[in-house]
Amino acid sequence: MTIDSEIENVVGVSHPLDPLSRAEISRVAAILKEGPAAAESFRFISIELREPDKELLRAGEKIVRQADAVLVNRAEGRSYVAIVDLESGIVTGWDQLAANVQPPFMLDEFAECEESCRKNLEVIAALAKRGITDMELVCFEPWSVGYFGEDSEGRRLMRALVFVREEPDDSPYAHPIENFIVIVDLNTGEVIQLQDDQAIPVPSASGNYLPKYVGPARTDLKPISITQPEGPSFEVNGNHVKWANWNFRVGFTPREGLVLHQLRYRDKDVERPVINRASLSEMVVPYGDTAPVQAKKNAFDSGEYNIGNMANSLTLGCDCTGEIKYFDGITTDSLGNPVTIENAICMHEEDDSILWKHWDFRLDTAETRRNRKLVISFIATVANYEYAFYWHLFLDGSIEFLVKATGILSTAGQKPGEKSPYGQTLNNDGLYAPIHQHMFNVRMDFEVDGPRNAVYEVDMEIPEDNPTHTAFKAVDRLLETEQKAIRKTDSSLHRFWKIVNHEKKNIVDEPVAYRLIPTDGIQLAAGDESFVSKRAQFARNNLWVTSYDRTERFAAGEFPNQATGSDDGLHIWTQKDRNIVDQDLVVWYTFGMHHVVRLEDWPIMPRQNIGFMLEPHGFFDQNPTLDLPRVSAAANHCSSEEGQSTH
């Protein structure tokens, strides 16, 4: 089946890549409850579409809808993965996970953890000794424990950081209760450890940002309204989107949030595939501070928390403005009920300044074309921080992945007058924010003009034979195997990577390609011997390339929660050192933000942008946007019919 006919076939009807509907989730839960998960003590971590095999999909074969489910049996302290055939209603897979494997948290466990801590008598007494008696104002923040040692096998643990509000709606992050940690077993609901070390006075200066506290809003800013009187330029049919020359399918999973499927660019009536599947595969936020509470903070917000579950319901005018198309995200509560996150994904167009311009100064005519981008995004709240994730598609075939980090710093307490060398002191009241990194990995199942691709590293080289002393050139080096493709960025060499298709040549007989511009290509700062570094090995390097295997989905492995990092993830799979030349490839890019906190990040952080670009690199034979219309004079006072006269 050609790509065209495949699109035609699926437009308007449910597609095999569509996320599970509410009804399908309920059916999966019911089938499992009637079958192997009949015991009351089972809880559902996730129920999601088991994506069909790429080959079957490509061949246009009939696809049977299947679901993957992850469950925990609390009574037994063991977890399970299940496969359910939605057509026959048969459980086709049911496997118990090893005792040391802990799947991601369920949202219900946040409240359960808080409740366990709040009613624990030892916790109440210990807090009272520190002068804190109103338990309703105490916030127990459910952080993952990291690797907790062999004794923790079979225990599903949460490490609660503790903050206290001064008033019911005041920001708790201004008031950390330092050196106070509660470890909870989520399966039993027990507090199993209280780490009540040296008390430090709780910083009392407020960290509030609400109008009620900060005063009236300024009035000098006039409204900006974005209008599209003729409506947006995208066409949406179910989860299929067509915009400008792009088309793709929108997906959503509990683990990743937004997923883009089957991203293609129409080039002179030919649908050219670029990426088969793209999503955030993992992220981790390790803290550099050696203080006992801080040194163990390193949440994997995707793999330990299922970041899609934490997606916000977006609001028009606040989170996105303009002509918006929303997609809901459907996920599951711990009892297997479907949960709809309404308006979880926002899609709209944005003006993006100029795309190209030239003023012919002899003729005094200027030609300018405006750029615009299609923005497909979601925002997740991971306790203190917000991450807004954006895919931007541009008219010229460029693609950007952008993360805007905002929200509230994860804070710590120090003795007033002291200044921790591992963070930024935020006030004179004992509050500081430790240095940390936000490390992300995006998995891109590339399909540049076809399923078989290869990757080159491109560095600047200054030749030895350089009589003019001005020479520099770009040199391509083929990355032949998985081990050879574990790479770091090098801005001194202006390094980038090129994903090529050797079977398809452009006008100058070179393989068509996309390039990955490795901006924000930082690496993990934690030492190699640290547990976080062993567990987040994906973040030690920026580029990884693997030969496609449908089971290799997440950079730190399927279940990083409480894991040692010794048996799953990119560093393990790439030990196979498979051939990656002209294969079905997956490219994994690690990038991040080295967050040296500044005062301006408090009490709420203005967004910090982190991301990277993919650009066509000889994918087209020339600039593919020459057919863009001039902007009409009436609309924007720019062009005349004969050529734009103003420059």
Active site residues: 301, 385
Q: 142, 303, 397, 565: which one contacts ligand ABN (CB under 6 A)?
A: 142
DSSP letter for 566, please: S
Q: Which of these segments, 244-252, 297-305, 431-439, 620-628, binds ligand ABN (CB under 6 A)?
A: 297-305
Segment near Cu ion (CB under 5 A), from 111-119, 125-133, 522-530, 595-603?
595-603
CB of 74 to ligand ABN, least distance (A): 20
Reported residue count of the chain is: 647
Cβ–Cβ < 8 Å for 52, 17? yes
Q: CB nearer to ligand ABN: give 25 or 139.
A: 139
To ligand ABN, the closest distance from the beta carbon of 107 in angstroms equals 9
Quote the least distance from Cβ 110 to ligand ABN, whole Å.
6
Q: Does 383 bind ligand ABN (CB under 6 A)?
A: yes
CB 346 within 8 A of CB 312: no
Q: Which stretch binds Cu ion (CB under 5 A): 66-74, 370-378, 464-472, 592-600?
A: 592-600
**The pair of three-digit structure tokens given for residue 205, joined into one six-digit string:** 């200066």
Per partner kind, with CB cut-offs from 5 to 8 A, the member of ligand ABN, Cu ion, none near residue 305 is ligand ABN
CB distance 639 to 631 below 8 Å? yes
CA–CA distances in Å: residue 614 to residues 56, 90, 394, 455, 495? 28, 42, 10, 13, 14
Is 297 near Cu ion (CB under 5 A)?
no
- Judge contact between 226 and 320, C-beta under 8 A: no
Q: Give the integer Cα–Cα distance in Å for 252 and 20.
A: 9
State the number of CA atoms in the 13 A half-sphere of 13 facing the CB: 6
Rounded to a whole number of angstroms, the minimum distance from the CB of residue 284 to Cu ion is: 12
Nearer to ligand ABN, 52 or 288 (CB): 288
- 4: its two tokens: 């065209």
Q: Which is nearer to ligand ABN, 244 or 284 (CB)?
A: 284
**What 3-state class would DSSP assign to 81?**
strand
Determine the Cα–Cα distance for residues 539 and 556; give it in Å rounded to an integer.
9
| Touching ligand ABN, residues 216-245 (CB under 6 A) | none
Strand pairing class (365-382; 385-394): antiparallel
299 is a contact residue toward ligand ABN (CB under 6 A): yes
Q: Minimum distance from CB of 592 to Cu ion (Å)?
A: 10
Count of residues of this chain found to bind ligand ABN when the rule CB under 6 A is applied: 8
Residue 448 makes CB contacts below 8 A (sequence gap 6+) with: 273, 274, 499, 500, 501, 512, 513, 514, 619
- Between residue 510 and residue 569, which ones bind ligand ABN under the rule CB under 6 A? none
**Nearest to ligand ABN of 109, 449 (CB atom):** 109
Q: What whole-number distance in Å separates Cα of residue 376 and Cα of residue 357?
A: 27
- Applying CB under 5 A, among 159, 348, 595, 617 the residue interacting with Cu ion is 595
Query: Exposure pattern of 332-365 as b/e (b: 16+ CB <10 Å)?
Result: bbbebebeebebbbbbbbbeeeebeeeeeeeeeb
**Min. distance of Cβ 405 from Cu ion in angstroms?**
6
> Whose Cβ is closer to Cu ion: residue 149's or residue 606's?
606
Gap between the Cα atoms of 583 and 451, Å rounded: 7
Binding flag, residue 44, ligand ABN (CB under 6 A): no
Q: Does 143 bind ligand ABN (CB under 6 A)?
A: yes
> Applying CB under 6 A, which part among 22-30, 71-79, 135-143, 415-423 lies near ligand ABN?
135-143
- Considering the complex, state which of residue 27 and residue 438 has its C-beta at the smaller distance from Cu ion: 438
Q: Please tell me the distance from the alpha carbon of residue 512 to that of residue 500, in angstroms, as a whole number.
A: 6
The tokens 């709240």 sit on which residue? 381
Residues in region 300-329 near ligand ABN by CB under 6 A: 301, 305
Q: How far apart are CA 497 and CA 275, in angstroms?
A: 15
Residue found under tokens 């062993």: 534
Shortest spacing between CB 305 and ligand ABN, in angstroms: 5
Query: Residue numbers of the site for Cu ion (CB under 5 A)?
Result: 595
Query: Residue numbers of the site for ligand ABN (CB under 6 A)?
Result: 141-143, 299, 301, 305, 382-383
